[in-house]
Amino acid sequence: MRKSEVLAAESVSCLNKALCHLKDIWEEIGIPEDQRLQRTNVVKNHIKSLLDMMVKEEESLRQRLVSSIQACRTDMEKLCLELQLNAFEEESGISMLQQENNIRTQVEALLKEKAQRMQQLKALLEQEQDLCDILCSELYGPLCRLCPHTGTTGELQPARGQPEHREGEAVC
């Protein structure tokens, strides 16, 4: 038997004991049967109200979790497209909490990857601007501010050694 089932059984047992104790008190006091039924009904309504409230809270938690998972999936898909990466495959048969945690972790990793690429792009753009200043030419346009593919930054790396080589050729 699962621990949750044991706790549920203990809860029912506590409820039964409390109702029996109340019944004994009411009998000892001499409360008539119709009033005992009314009081028992009040107890039932209180417990039902409490349980209904708890169920609503848990359903709300579940809905927030579903919304969070969907938002994380959307962010992950957007980042994968932007970074030109294949979409991650989600594990099956795991809890919603674990699923949300896994997707959120992947999104954080993709955001770090994007930040690194943007930092590389910024450094390359600064180098390119320095080269353009030396060579008196226009800045290469397509890199603008898009997050580069890893191959794009690799293609631009060989140009790093050219300033010294071409500096003598430049005439402004």
How large a percentage of the chain has pLDDT more than 90?
68
Question: 132 and 138 in contact (C-beta within 8 Å)?
Answer: yes
Tokens of 140: 């290469």
* Token reading at 131: 């080269």
Whole-model pTM: value is: 0.68
Range 51-71 burial, b when 16+ CB lie within 10 A, else e: eeeeeeeeeeeeeeeeeebee
The mean per-residue pLDDT over the stretch 3-30 comes to: 95
Q: Count of CB atoms within 10 A of residue 135's CB? A: 16
Which whole number is the average pLDDT over 24-37? Answer: 96
Task: Choose the most confident range, by mean pLDDT, from 10-19, 149-158, 160-169.
Answer: 10-19
Confidence of residue 14 (pLDDT cuts 50, 70, 90): very high
Q: Any residues with CB less than 8 A from the CB of 104 and at least 6 apart, and which?
A: 68, 72
Note the pLDDT tens digit of each residue in 20-30. 999 999 999 99
165's tokens: 């080589």
Task: Please tell me the predicted confidence (pLDDT) of residue 133.
Answer: 85
* Annotated domain spans of the chain: 32-167
